[in-house]
Structure 1
Amino acid sequence: MKGPCFPDLEVPIRVRYHETDKMGVVHHSNYIRYMEVARMAWLDALGCPFTRIEGGDTQLMITEVSCTYRAPATFDDLLQVHIILERWNKFRLSFLFLIKKEDRVIAKGGSALAAVSNAGYPVPLPEILLERLSELDVTAPQHHHD
């Protein structure tokens, strides 16, 4: 069976009113949530929903997260969260996120995840995830990462 041929995905997110602050812009903490929504969608598209990954003895723990803000988003803006698999090995995944409004990057972020046992000790990524990752076409054209 031929696996997925994408290392990246774009996920649309419409800004909801409760995600804005007193200044009328999206509160900074919500960009991290948008990245998580995109990461879950990416895993779903890969054929490894998070519930399946964490349904056994392995958890994926966030070990790093970052976000640089370039321009604000406001209520009802339609954002595109572009998630790109940057690196992976037997134990970790790293992603780049470009959050866009009208094709303009308004925030750039990243996250890294490590596999740990339910007791919190480092372990390899679940086998199903490793299989799907090995099937990715990482020779696909790379995108400009503003």
Structure 2
Amino acid sequence: MISACHEHRVQLFDLDAMQVVWHGNYVRLFEQARSALFDRIGYNYPQMDTSDYLWPIVDMRVKFLRPATFGQQLCTTATLGEYENRLRIDYVTRADDHEHPVCSGFTIQAAVERHSGEMLYRTPDFLIERIRALL
């Protein structure tokens, strides 16, 4: 499958009152890794914006496994899990040694025709072909 990684050093503003990474920041890390994945595919948000399709997130899951703290280097990997009927992207965020995950999850995006607002139950052919060319 196709994957991409986003690196992030935990800063003070990432922390909550308990001095661990605030849970909402993992969604931001997922987004940054997803954007890196879309860059690899050659279909990131600027290309989506000029296409006839919108790609809203219709489902999301985040599982917190262990806390991350100030100064740790995090690597969030986004991997394309499904692409024919929807885009399912799986995520794993690992700290420092990249061995132990601190967070995992997935997002699901569905194609919506820009002009009609109709959700499609199949990924447009041009994107399927682009993904298959990378596999």
Q: For structure 1, which runs of at least 5 residues remain unmatched after alignment?
A: 1-5, 138-146
Distance 1:122 1:30 in 2: 29
User: What is the identity, as a one-letter code, of the residue corresponding to 1:116?
Assistant: V
Q: Secondary structure at the match of 1:27?
A: coil
Structure 1 runs (4+) deviating above 3 angstroms are 123-128
1:7 pairs with 2:2: yes
Which of structures 1 and 2 has the larger relative contact order (alpha carbons within 8 angstroms, sep 6+)?
A: 1
Q: Secondary structure at the match of 1:75?
A: coil
Following superposition, the deviation at residue 110 of structure 1 comes to 0.6
Q: For structure 2, which runs of at least 5 residues remain unmatched after alignment?
A: none
Please give the TM-score of this superposition, normalised by the length of structure 1. 0.81
Partners of 1:58 and 1:125 within 8 A in 2: no
Select which of 129, 132, 144 maps to 2:130: 132
Please give the TM-score of this superposition, normalised by the length of structure 2. 0.86
Counting aligned pairs with the same residue, the percent is 27
Select which of 113, 116, 121 maps to 1:117: 113
Give the stretch that moved more between structures: 106-115 or 67-76: 67-76
User: 1:85 corresponds to which residue?
Assistant: 80
What is the RMSD of the two structures over their aligned residues, measured on CA atoms?
Answer: 1.7
> Across the two proteins, how many residue pairs are aligned to each other?
131
Partners of 2:6 and 2:29 within 8 A in 1: no
Distance 1:121 1:98 in 2: 31
Q: CA 1:127–1:51 in structure 2 vs 1: closer, same or farther (change >3 Å)?
A: farther
Following superposition, the deviation at residue 126 of structure 1 comes to 5.0
Higher helix share: 2
